[in-house]
């Protein structure tokens, strides 16, 4: 996250963040520089998908051992 980058004195673009999305029952992790934002409308148009951001409740169910807002960098591996 940008907060982590600032604390480590690293430019935000040098760190990656995972953004969990869902399309129906499929979960997909988007990995992007920590200073970027996702334009889901544009991405859905390019991919032909119906991605939405996964909810905190969905993330808690998928990653019960992780703190709120933290997800493993490799997702469900």
Query: What is the mean pLDDT, run by run of 10 residues, along the chain of 77 residues?
Result: 74 81 93 90 96 92 81 61
Do 2 and 13 form a contact (C-beta atoms < 8 A)? Answer: no
Residue 26 lies in a domain: yes
Domain range for 52 is 2-62
Residue 35 lies in a domain: yes
- For residue 21, the SS3 value is strand
Return left, alpha or beta for 66; rule: phi > 0 is left, psi -120 to 50 is alpha, else beta: beta
pTM exceeding the 0.85 threshold for the entire prediction: no
Euclidean distance between the first and the last CA atom of the chain, given in angstroms as a whole number:
21
Residue 69 lies in a domain: no
What confidence score (pLDDT) does residue 67 get?
Answer: 83
CATH classification at residue 14: 3.90.960.10
Residue 41 lies in a domain: yes
Sheet with 26-33: list strands edge to edge: 26-33, 16-23, 52-53
């Amino acid at each position: 996250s940008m907060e982590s980058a600032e604390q480590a004195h690293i430019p935000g673009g040098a760190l990656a963040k995972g953004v969990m999305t869902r399309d129906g029952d499929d979960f997909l992790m988007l990995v992007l520089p920590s200073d970027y934002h996702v334009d889901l409308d544009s991405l859905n148009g390019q991919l032909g998908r119906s991605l939405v951001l996964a909810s905190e409740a969905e993330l808690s169910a998928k990653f019960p051992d992780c703190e709120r807002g933290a997800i493993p960098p490799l997702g469900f591996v």
